[in-house]
Structure 1
């Protein structure tokens, strides 16, 4: 078992502290599903991370946070390396709705500075009063600093027919497909394919294709050296303005605002 898998399953929940800090500049990902007794705040300092649950996949771009509730089974992955993660774990979280669901969100400046400040306590297993007071204060401001979750989430299909379709779309992300074209390729009628999409993942074929392209674009924007123009081309947009407007409609932010810092 990889070092990080041992860390996830044993070290965090075994440490007898109300809150625990782990910063890692070269995070090692494991395909193993796991859950923590503690709530987890993840901040992506560099690179990007995918967070997988049984029914959905969330993208955490550079300088974004995710909150994972206690007991939520998940696994993580990333298509780029290295990935610098700063993680905070809390044994109690309170009753606010924020703590009950997975949330991916932009990191406010004050929260980012507070997370960076916790580096001095990374992997510290002994009790430290100043550390615990600071972390409890950080935890209390999370619901206050959180404005809205960013919809960087793809629903995961369970029907094998839809799995085949979405796999093909992901492998051919630069292409723009019409429903009749894809339905015929997978021996489905358009009506049947649309019904399966709505029933299995709750959105239309066109809606899924658009969301897939925008989430892939958000991933690419977190990679050093990419530009808005290059990313637009890679996900099948010939017009940068059309890409920017679609990106804004889906995520509520412009692609320029998600470009990785050089």
Structure 2
């Protein structure tokens, strides 16, 4: 049996050190109120995480991935990751697979909105929560779910926050994260980086794949998702809190990133 100190179905043997004592090929772990410890860990299983309530930030390599409500993330085996969230409640399911199928999809990280059929499949699979014994139906059902994942995936690249390796660019990102509520000028950002405006813009696009303007927009929209989750503010208030002067400007920016309109039921 597993103890109370576990993560993704793994048993903790030391701070941030987890071992896989599960004999099964596939394992379901459902948590009604996820508690984060933010320790980095890895395991020799691929991982599908479905966020049913709240949101999570996954730190993987040099990127941060936001997984909001009703989204899933696929993480190949052997990748170090840590998870953080300030959501009031995180309800999620983790499905761990020891073996992957012959498809390039399973070798990369993917974040995408879960279609209705996948959500229902995952909810059905919750009946095997933390089951350690073999179950024929579970094995067949989860293999079918795994097989269908590439067909369900409509990639959400907009939920990936690039983290540059250049310290000068990293200082700019940190500045944006701390001042996204105000009208940021390119001159301010160049001063933070000690680079010329032209050099900053060129290097930032080269390292992150997006422009500074797009990065600011991305941070504002992702921060708005956190505020929407609190259920304490109107959309107009949230738009103002993340740096927009009108609800129309906020909703247009939100839609350009998230491909849907913001709402309190997000």
Give me the TM-score of the superposition, normalised by structure 1. Answer: 0.89
User: Is 2:29 aligned against 1:22?
Assistant: yes
Displacement of 1:197 in angstroms is 1.4
- 189-198 vs 96-105, which moves further: 189-198
Matches within 5 A, 1:239-258: 239-256=246-263
Q: 1:123-147, CA deviations, whole angstroms, 9 ceiling, x for partnerless residues?
A: 1111111111111121122122223
User: Is 2:155 aligned against 1:155?
Assistant: no
Q: 1:49 aligns with which of 46, 52, 56?
A: 56
Partner Cα distance (2:190, 2:62) in 1: 24
- 89-98 vs 187-196, which moves further: 187-196
Displacement of 1:40 in angstroms is 0.9
Please state whether the residue corresponding to 2:122 is helix, strand or coil: helix
Tell me the residue number matched to 2:112. 105
User: Is 2:201 aligned against 1:194?
Assistant: yes
User: Is 2:11 aligned against 1:4?
Assistant: no
Q: 1:58 aligns with which of 49, 62, 65?
A: 65
Q: 1:107-164, CA deviations, whole angstroms, 9 ceiling, x for partnerless residues?
A: 1111111111112111111111111111112112212222333420110122222222
Q: 1:181-210, CA deviations, whole angstroms, 9 ceiling, x for partnerless residues?
A: 322355432123223313432332222112
Q: 1:131 aligns with which of 125, 132, 138?
A: 138
Displacement of 1:12 in angstroms is 7.3
* Shift in CA distance, 8/160, structure 1 to aligned 2, threshold 3 Å: farther
Per residue, is there more helix in 1 or in 2?
Answer: 1
Tell me the residue number matched to 2:94. 87
* Shift in CA distance, 180/231, structure 1 to aligned 2, threshold 3 Å: same
Q: 2:188 aligns with which of 178, 181, 188?
A: 181
Tell me the residue number matched to 2:210. 203
Matches within 5 A, 1:23-38: 23-38=30-45
Please state whether the residue corresponding to 2:181 is helix, strand or coil: coil
User: Is 2:224 aligned against 1:227?
Assistant: no
Q: Which runs of 5+ in 2 are unaligned?
A: 13-17
Tell me the residue number matched to 1:218. 225
Partner Cα distance (1:12, 1:142) in 2: 26
Contact kept in structure 1, 2:49 and 2:95, CA below 8 Å: yes
Please state whether the residue corresponding to 1:218 is helix, strand or coil: helix
Contact kept in structure 2, 1:223 and 1:260, CA below 8 Å: no
Per residue, is there more strand in 1 or in 2?
Answer: 2
Count of matched residue pairs: 258
* Shift in CA distance, 95/176, structure 1 to aligned 2, threshold 3 Å: farther
Q: Which has the higher contact order (CA 8 A, sep 6+)?
A: 1
Partner Cα distance (2:19, 2:103) in 1: 23
